[in-house]
Amino acid sequence: MLRFYNTLSRQKEEFKPLNPKYVTMYSCGPTVYSYAHIGNLRTYIFMDLIRRTLKLSGYKIKGVMNITDVGHLMADSDDGEDKMAVAAKKQNKTPWEIAEYYSKIFFEDLQKLNIGRPEIIAKATEHIDDMIKYVQNLESHGFSYETSDGIYFDIAKFPNYGCLSRANLDDQLAGARVEVNDEKRHPADFALWKKADPLHIMQWQSPWGMGYPGWHIECSAMSQKYLGKTFDIHSGGVDHIPIHHENEIAQNEAITGEKSVNYWIHGEFMLVDNGKMSKSLGNTYTIAQLEEKGYSPLDFRFFCLNTHYRKKLNFTFDGLDAAKVSRERLMQALALHKASSAPTNPDTIAKYKQDFHAAIEDDINIPLALGLLFTAIKEPKSKDIYELALYFDKALGLSLDKLPAPKEETIDVPEEVMALVEKRKQAKKDRDFDLADQIRAEITALGYNVLDTREGVKVTPIK
């Protein structure tokens, strides 16, 4: 039974899609004004793990991810300039060039990290008409008001505001910063549409003059367009719970009066050296930077897979080094399993599969699932274990089929045995074959075989 932790109810719930075979899912995508950093990418790996878990549980998916190429202001509330415009000015390019460049790198990063591409990728700038219609719809239902700089959502008209974050509006009011926009009726009212001054680069014709959409309306307009008024899953990072996703709910449900998303699933943040990741601290690494330092993108994916998605994950290079070593060991062990023709008891394999499904279906417990893989590779060498790993890989996405050439297995031979091996070598050199045979018998008694080969003496445990 597949269960997800739903932010709405703050508990694990059995997953029951609206359509038993077909899951509808929306994931907040990137704002393409810069390279995605490893924190952002943790969130997309998390999205991918949800998708893989669904698929392995037998579902098909209609997934939508947006590309924000307009409207995301410097603060998630409505302060500051548009992130795209700021980047464009800085780099002396148009916002469209900026969006194209960073989108391309983003999709390359996804590919390097084995993150499956959602079925529908929706660019904000290609859905301006849908957003305008959405704002008009909210307007006609009486949920908005106009100020000198835009159209705002009137949260007082939506009593359920705060249902996701469980924030009390009065608390928000008390804690709010000094309000810059005194035309807003409530500090938490948010822009649906912004009026643009003539110098603003990205602007479109609208019933309210030239302007551009608010960031939150983008996700509502596109999710409702492709997935309908109620869909199954919405994913994103935990930072979006209090503003962005709360606003999406308000916009969606104000009009329909119905629950818009059944399961809100949020991924925890990545920290760097136990602190916030930020450009000014110079600790926002990109995948390209990790590659320059000699790591594979899959080392980073493996690093992420070791921590449950609802736990904070502290990034350190020591941690990434450990992940790299661990992944290499895994691949080596699998190469040896692949090379073996011995079978494993089918009941053993079936039990591993059953436990694996139980792990991933319990709120995507990938660390537990990964632990099972590490237990399985300790089984006697067998092609069946390799095949089992490939099955696990449908959920893990670690390219376990791209194995290195198998190296000789390194065995830790006890010092006592090694000392006897050396003694035997000397006895043979001295042509004292009786002594050599006697030492061999001692080694055998300790549980090891000695084999004289052209490459030298080989010591292997007796199985």
Residues binding ligand AMP (CB under 6 A): 28, 30-31, 39-40, 42-43, 236-237, 239-240, 269-270, 277
Task: Report in angstroms how near the CB of residue 22 gets to Zn ion at its nearest.
Answer: 22
Reference 290, options 336, 321, 330, 263; nearest CA is 321
Complex with ligand AMP: residue 194 or 244, whichever CB lies closer? 244
Task: Name the binder of 214 from Zn ion, ligand AMP, none, CB < 5-8 A by kind.
Answer: none
Residues 6+ apart with CB under 8 A from 417: 443, 446, 448, 459
Which is nearer to Zn ion, 67 or 336 (by Cβ)? 67
Q: Which does 43 bind (CB under 5 to 8 A by kind): Zn ion, ligand AMP, none?
A: ligand AMP
Enter the DSSP assignment of 263: E
Contacts of 308 (CB under 8 A, 6+ apart): 364, 365, 366, 367
Distance of CA 301 to the CA centre of its chain: 8
Does 73 sit near Zn ion (CB under 5 A)? no
Smaller CB distance to Zn ion: residue 254 or 349?
Answer: 254
Helix axes 38-56, 346-361, angle to 10 degrees: 120
Say how many residues touch Zn ion, by CB under 5 A: 2
Nearer to ligand AMP, 95 or 236 (CB): 236
CA distances to 4, 239, 263, 363 from 13, in Å: 6, 22, 9, 9
CA 3 to chain centre: 18
10 Å Cβ neighbour count for 51?
A: 25
Which of ligand AMP, Zn ion, none binds 71 (CB below 5-8 Å, type-dependent)? none
Q: How far is the CB of 208 from ligand AMP (least distance, A)?
A: 25
Residue closer to Zn ion, measured from CB, 216 or 440: 216
Q: Is 28 in the site for Zn ion (CB under 5 A)?
A: yes
Q: Least CB distance from residue 209 to Zn ion, whole Å?
A: 26
Binding of Zn ion at residue 270 (CB under 5 A)?
no
Give residue number: closest CB to ligand AMP. Answer: 237
- Checking DSSP bridges between strand 231-237 and strand 261-267, what pairing results, if any? parallel
Between 80 and 461, CB nearer to ligand AMP = 80
Alpha-carbon distance of 230 to 259, in angstroms, equals 6
Of residues 37 and 440, the one with the C-beta less far from Zn ion: 37
The option from ligand AMP, Zn ion, none interacting with 270 (CB < 5 to 8 A, set by class) reads: ligand AMP
x-or-dash pattern for Zn ion, window 206-245, by CB under 5 A? -------------x--------------------------
Q: Work out what residue 262 binds among ligand AMP, Zn ion, none; the CB cut-off runs from 5 to 8 Å by kind.
A: none
**Minimum distance from CB of 283 to ligand AMP (Å)?**
10
Transcribe 90-121 into DSSP letters. HHTS-HHHHHHHHHHHHHHHHHHTTPPPPSEE
Instruction: Please report how close the Cβ of residue 216 comes to Zn ion at its closest, in angstroms.
Output: 7
Pairing of β 60-67 and β 3-6: unpaired
90 CB-contact burial (10 Å; exposed 0-12 / middle 13-18 / buried 19+): exposed
CB under 5 to 8 A by kind: which of ligand AMP, Zn ion, none does 70 bind? none
**With CB cut-offs between 5 and 8 Å by kind, which of Zn ion, ligand AMP, none does residue 239 bind?**
ligand AMP
Please give the single-letter amino acid code of residue 335.
A
Q: Taking CB within 5 to 8 Å according to partner kind, which of ligand AMP, Zn ion, none is near residue 219?
A: Zn ion
User: Do the beta carbons of residue 366 and residue 395 sit within 8 Å?
Assistant: yes
Q: By the criterion CB under 5 A, which residues form the site for Zn ion?
A: 28, 219
